[in-house]
Amino acid sequence: MALAFPFSAIVGQDEMKLAILAAAVDPRIGGVLVFGDRGTGKSTAVRALAALLPPMRALVGCRYACDPADRAPRCDDCATLKSAARPKTHLVPVPVVDLPLGATEDRVVGALDLERALTQGVKAFEPGLLARAHRGFLYIDEVNLLEDHLVDLLIDVAASGENVVEREGLSVRHPARFVLVGSGNPEEGELRPQLLDRFGLAVEVRTPTDLAQRVLVVRRRDAFERDPEAFCAEWHAEDERVRKRLVAARKHLDQVRVDDAALEQAARLCMALGTDGLRGELTLMRAARALAALDGERAVTDAHLQRAARPALRHRLRRDPLDDTDAGVRVDRALQEVFAP
Amino acid sequence: MTAAPPADPAWADAVWAATLLAVDPQGLGGIVLRAGAGPVRDRWTKLLHGLLPARTPWRRMPSHIADERLLGGLDLAATLQAGKPVAQRGLLAECDGGLLLLPMAERLGSDTAARLARALDDGEVGTERDGIAQRWPARVAVVAFDEGRNDDPPLPVALSDRLAFHADLSAVGLRACGDADHDVAAVLAARARLPSVTLDEPFAQALCATAMRMGVASLRASLLALRAARAAAALHGRHAVNEDDARLAARLVLAPRATTLPAPPEPPPEEPPPPPESDTPPPPLNEQDVQELEERLVEAAQAALPAQLLAALLNGEVARSGGRVGALSASPRSGRPVGSRAGLPRGGARLNLIDTLRAAAPWQRLRAAEAPPGRQRIHVRGSDLRIARLQQRAATATLFVIDASGSSALHRMAEAKGAVNLLLAECYVRRDQVGVIAFRGKGAQLLLPPTRSLVRAKRSLAELPGGGGTPLASGLQAALVTALQVRRSGAVPVVVLLTDGRANVGLSGAPGRSQAEADALQLARQLRAARLGALVVDTSPQPSPSARALAQAMGAPYRALPHAGAAELSAAVRALPRQA
């Protein structure tokens, strides 16, 4: 794989970068959807994240790269492996799996292993992309162009954390907990509300209109393409700082306090916006906690809630086809009401 | 270098684009060439081919290419021969290092365009299909021939945004074609020089500023302009970009993308733009020089604006570059595969080979034992055969044809807009496409080509102006043209006409009630003959006989707005016959 554009060299787009980092700190937030103009570095940011993530520990020989710390065996591989006296573990990179357009269902969910079936007559399961994405990220570029039947399937697996395969005489279930990251352009068509709701955070990206910033974007991109090695070396230290921040945030995420006052504010905000269900509040709280952890703080403050509100709630507002107001603006308005001194 | 005979400037630019593309095909992505099939295009194509080093891959891609041929997949013949899965490269991988030609690119669906865009971005193609997971290098450049006529939609923006050059040869005659000044040797020398060509900060700034002033929003365009300037410098044997190169890049890359006429230069900012913190310190540059350079680049780009575009820009008519929702297949025997079922491939059903193999696989050992030895590698029986289940994606496109004339506008306009808004919400739920046509004054205007974007539909509706005469016939004509276009693209058009039926401007644009009504009825009958699903919504305060007569001529159901609630309207729309 070619070198990825360094995460820290992405100009501007702070909300997108922050949302991606927050989702990496706490997978329970439930993924990020990046919607916006062409050529704003949506895919670049996601691919850059892959290079940033610290490796994870996994059982040797497990096709799903399960966590050795997990007590209950979750997959068939682990059940066998863990019965051994001392299962071996190793460090593997966190998977960031690209779901290419035109992928077929058998490769996404997994299917009968054709090679073994044809040559040995053995009925074996060949894991698909969902298995590969377990404990990592599943990235869908142009998510609004995805086939509807694949969308349904992804929604189901992302919600349950488990992939159940019943086809070709196979009956397999395996864990598939991944963070869904999608990107797309709203002009290509809108996303189904059910899928929209599955993403924890949603950010909108715009082409910068400031000349200096535009020149900087073009210059950096140009420098990267002319000499990727040198460019990445130049940004290595900066990327390393982001990585340390991410690791530290993950480590003390559980120690970040969310007191009742913050919860109350979150509830008030969701009520003011009239979001459906509790998912909004929950995501808002988790995102705020992840932001606090990224800042190295021990408790969630109003400032964290305010920063998390836009990405966490923007896509959960009840859709009124007659109201044209940008969702982000509506969130801002509610923020001003709730957090008015 | 030979002296070129006098040639049409459009031809000269297309030749420049071809030459620069030959120098840096992967970096520049490719070209959109607007030209019908014919000798001029053939000549240009031959010229481009001649500029490329020998044995550069050169492939044509039909716009209806299947995924397995584009991206790669299972090689069935080899699989059966070998008795184990064998992967086969797709067209993109076969074309690695070369050029991919797309005739009729305007017919390309946005899904295929997105696949090409991904290959252009990554320089490789990944396939996850039919049990094959593989990546192949695919550093291609795309030559997209846009054969659309004026009223056809342009090719998907996801693709055209990534192709550096947009040239137009549709108005160039064969006699106006000259020869190329460069040859393969020059191109090869330029390729060798290209990696060392530098581009100074002032040129980068001036090109970015030019892009902004011409309303080119995409940053990719600026980046492509930089690369084009470098390729031009390399071609001229220079090691640094100079002003001529930048001007050429502005003309070829930025000018065709312009959406606004460049505004007069802004007064110099009080403070020079803050230098990027972490980049190499920019050489001290004279603010004045950059400004002047930018002026000259804008001038060069402006001079290259095609006359048509210029006129449109002056009228402020260029649409925001819009995406296009996937072209859909119309034939009842096509569609998206959604799995397979046991059955025989007859009556037009397609065999799903992969699933057939999968069904046969578990039995191979048993069958091999039964069969006479040495005859065949894989034993497939009739009961294994699986046929593909296809799902029609032929979406409905609802065209709203809105009477925005004075007589309607006064009191009914708001209600009509409200009704359309409610129908829009319905369309959103069904994921239908929507288009908006308005007629007022002397003619009709397609405010919104069919799209699935609710945001754009609402925006176009909010901006709908009102007032003037009622050119009902023009409105119907626009509806007919657009509906037939929609049908060609594979979706099913449905026309919803909101009017009071009081036509007073004829098709020619001349006022006169009797002629106007005759024209309107004439077109209404044409709509009926085209067998379009239609609905007439009467927006006049009292149900008007003329609107009812119109509905009758169109063979369309009639609803009067005062009596029809939103629910009834949407039920009426849903009940319309949907003939593809």
Alpha-helix runs per DSSP H in B506-565: 513-529, 545-554
Instruction: For B302-357, give the DSSP string.
Output: HHTS-HHHHHHHHTT-PPPP----------TT--EEEEEEE--S-TTPPB-HHHHH
Whether the pLDDT of residue B268 is over 50: the answer is no
A112 touches chain B (CB under 8 A): yes
Whether the pLDDT of residue B191 is over 60: the answer is yes
Q: Tokens in use for A253?
A: 């995420």
B84 touches chain A (CB under 8 A): yes
Closest CA to A16 of A311, A218, A293: A311
Residue with the larger pLDDT of the pair A116 and B90: B90
Tell me if residue B412 falls in helix, strand or coil.
helix
A227 touches chain B (CB under 8 A): no
Q: With an 8 Å Cβ cutoff, are A188 and B129 in contact?
A: no
In this prediction, residue B330 carries a pLDDT of 32
Whether the pLDDT of residue B194 is over 80: the answer is yes
In this prediction, residue A341 carries a pLDDT of 63
In which band, very low, low, confident or very high, does the pLDDT at A279 lie, cut at 50, 70 and 90?
confident
Query: What mean pLDDT do residues A156-174 have?
Result: 82
Average pLDDT, chain B: 77
In this prediction, residue B430 carries a pLDDT of 65
Measure Cα distances from B431 to A102, B396, B452, B454 in Å.
21, 8, 7, 9
Query: What mean pLDDT do residues B324-339 have?
Result: 44
User: What percentage of chain A exceeds 70 in pLDDT?
Assistant: 91
In this prediction, residue A104 carries a pLDDT of 80
Q: Tokens in use for B258?
A: 């312009």
Query: What mean pLDDT do residues B105-114 have?
Result: 83
Residue with the larger pLDDT of the pair A187 and A299: A299
Q: How do residues A32-87 score in pLDDT, each as one tens digit? A: 999 887 777 888 888 888 888 888 888 887 888 888 777 666 777 777 777 776 77
In which band, very low, low, confident or very high, does the pLDDT at A321 lie, cut at 50, 70 and 90?
very low
In this prediction, residue B526 carries a pLDDT of 86
Whether the pLDDT of residue A230 is over 50: the answer is yes
From chain B, the residues in CB contact with A216 under 8 A are 276, 279
Q: What gap in Å lies between CA B519 and CA B502, rounded to an integer?
A: 12
Measure Cα distances from B489 to A14, B73, B335, B395, B510 in Å.
40, 27, 13, 10, 34
In this prediction, residue B283 carries a pLDDT of 44
Question: A28 to chain B nearest CA, in Å?
Answer: 28
* Adjacency order of strands within the sheet including A32-36: A96-98, A137-140, A179-184, A32-36, A201-205
Q: How do residues A79-121 score in pLDDT, each as one tens digit? A: 777 777 677 888 888 898 988 877 888 888 888 887 777 777 7
B236 touches chain A (CB under 8 A): no
Helix axes A302-313, A327-338, angle to 10 degrees: 150
The closest CB to that of A169, out of B114, B362, B424, belongs to: B362
Amino acid at A265: Q
B25 alpha-carbon distance from chain centroid:
21
ipTM of this complex prediction, to 2 decimal places: 0.80
Q: What gap in Å lies between CA B229 and CA B253, rounded to an integer?
A: 10
Please count the other Cβ atoms lying within 10 Å of the Cβ belonging to residue B64. 13
Q: How do residues B496-555 score in pLDDT, each as one tens digit? A: 888 888 888 888 878 888 888 888 888 888 888 887 888 888 877 777 888 888 888 888
Of A201-210, A271-280, B19-28, B458-467, the one with minimum mean pLDDT is B458-467
Q: How do residues B451-479 score in pLDDT, each as one tens digit? A: 777 777 777 777 777 778 888 888 898 99
Whether the pLDDT of residue A287 is over 70: the answer is yes
Measure Cα distances from A267 to A29, A113, A290, B326 in Å.
17, 49, 18, 41
In this prediction, residue B390 carries a pLDDT of 65
Specify whether A279 is catalytic: yes
Quote the Cα angle for A295-A301-A305, to 5°: 90
Q: How many CA atoms lie less than 13 Å away from B310 in the CB half-sphere?
A: 7
In this prediction, residue A43 carries a pLDDT of 84
The closest CB to that of B223, out of A168, A185, A221, belongs to: A221
In this prediction, residue A2 carries a pLDDT of 67
Q: If contacts are CB pairs under 8 Å, which of residues 413-452 in chain B contact chain A?
A: 418, 421-422, 424-425, 428, 431, 451-452
In this prediction, residue B336 carries a pLDDT of 58
In terms of Cβ atoms closer than 10 Å to its own Cβ (0-12, 13-18, 19+), residue B254 is buried
User: What percentage of chain A exceeds 90 in pLDDT?
Assistant: 26
Of A182-196, B134-148, B198-212, B254-268, the one with minimum mean pLDDT is B254-268
Whether the pLDDT of residue B249 is over 80: the answer is yes
Query: What mean pLDDT do residues B349-360 have?
Result: 76
Of A155-164, A253-262, A293-302, the one with minimum mean pLDDT is A155-164
From chain A, the residues in CB contact with B211 under 8 A are 214
From chain B, the residues in CB contact with A107 under 8 A are 128-133
Whether the pLDDT of residue A232 is over 90: the answer is yes
In which band, very low, low, confident or very high, does the pLDDT at A16 lie, cut at 50, 70 and 90?
very high
In this prediction, residue B310 carries a pLDDT of 53
> Tokens 């002026």 appear where?
B295
State phi, psi for B133 to the nearest 5 degrees. Answer: -125, 110
Residue with the larger pLDDT of the pair A226 and B359: A226
Whether the pLDDT of residue B332 is over 50: the answer is no
Q: What gap in Å lies between CA B304 and CA B257, rounded to an integer?
A: 11
In terms of Cβ atoms closer than 10 Å to its own Cβ (0-12, 13-18, 19+), residue A307 is buried
Catalytic residue of the set A28, A173, A214, A279: A279
In this prediction, residue B318 carries a pLDDT of 39
In this prediction, residue A314 carries a pLDDT of 85
Of A53-57, A279-283, B72-76, B468-472, the one with minimum mean pLDDT is B72-76
